[in-house]
Amino acid sequence: MLLPALAKAKSKAQRIKCVNNLKNVGLAFRTYATDNQDSFPMNVNTNSGGTQEWMGSTYAKYLFLTYRSLSNELSTPKIIICPTDNKTEATNWDSHLTAWGNSCISYGLGIEAQETYPSMILSFDRNVTNSTASGGVAMAKDPSSSIYGKLGTNQPSTGGAGWADDMHQNNGNVALGDGSVQGLSSTRLKEQLRNSGDANNLIMLPYKGIATSASAAIK
């Protein structure tokens, strides 16, 4: 009787820690926007410290650069690791994160998120999926490589966007454009996407796997 209770308490504590991480990430994005004409790094060119040129279908493996651009706002790269995720914690924003890339990240990115659209998804647990192509691009659960995908808004009642079960028991946490964080079931994730104000809901996801060497880390 004691072991299931302890496991449940641990799971709850991990999810609370994940929510706190995403709150810090959301605040970092908003602080960055305050200093950059209300724009998140995805809409700021690289010459000005953003990652605009690294957005697109061929650049998902460079997702880590957007989180790295928030290094002045986030105290440590450990914040971009969910405690339920078996990922490598970067020891610093520069040499370590640059070498190991997406293997040090648990959170995906809403590419088109803007502070002026508070319901758009901004940062979220990487175990999101879109099991059918209705309203978006079909994405496999637990990808072996980093993914650029489209969740869309036309979510079917069966299938479509949801969560894989490897992190929060078929649930997930999402930071929105206004900096708030929501814990969402698959059903509520679909509803959030429908009401996001973003017809595309383009996202980047880090791959599930753990790199065994820095040379193999960026996938």
Asked if the structure places residue 103 within a domain, the reply is: yes
Give dist(CA 3, CA 87) in Å, integer. Answer: 25
Asked if the structure places residue 160 within a domain, the reply is: yes
Beta bridge partners of 121: 176
Higher local confidence (pLDDT), 216 or 92:
92
CB 25 within 8 A of CB 79: yes
pLDDT at res. 185: 92
**Residue 115: which of 54, 23, 199, 27 has the closest Cα?**
27
Domain with 47 in it: 11-216
Predicted confidence (pLDDT) at residue 55 exceeds the cutoff of 70: yes
Asked if the structure places residue 6 within a domain, the reply is: no
Asked if the structure places residue 99 within a domain, the reply is: yes
Q: What is the dihedral of CA 116, 159, 202, 38, to 10 degrees?
A: 20
Token readout for 3 is 């072991």
Asked if the structure places residue 4 within a domain, the reply is: no
Strands 107-110 and 202-205: antiparallel
Instruction: Report the pLDDT averaged over residues 53-71.
Output: 93
Sheet holding 181-185, edge to edge: 147-150, 202-205, 107-110, 121-125, 171-176, 181-185
pLDDT at res. 170: 81
Distance of CA 163 to the CA centre of its chain: 12
Asked if the structure places residue 137 within a domain, the reply is: yes
Give dist(CA 169, CA 113) in Å, integer. Answer: 26
Asked if the structure places residue 80 within a domain, the reply is: yes
Q: What percent of the chain has pLDDT over 70?
A: 84
Residue at 208: amino acid letter: K
CB 48 within 8 A of CB 42: no
Q: How confident is the model at residue 8 (pLDDT cuts 50, 70, 90)?
A: low
Give how far Cα 26 sits from Cα of 4, 78, 134, 210, 212, Å: 33, 15, 29, 25, 30
Give dist(CA 93, CA 14) in Å, integer. Answer: 23
Give dist(CA 22, CA 50) in Å, integer. Answer: 20
**Cβ–Cβ contacts within 10 Å for residue 141, how many?**
15
Predicted confidence (pLDDT) at residue 122 exceeds the cutoff of 90: yes
Asked if the structure places residue 1 within a domain, the reply is: no
Computed over every residue of the chain, the mean pLDDT equals 85
Q: How confident is the model at residue 130 (pLDDT cuts 50, 70, 90)?
A: confident
The number of folded domains in the chain is: 1
Predicted confidence (pLDDT) at residue 12 exceeds the cutoff of 60: yes
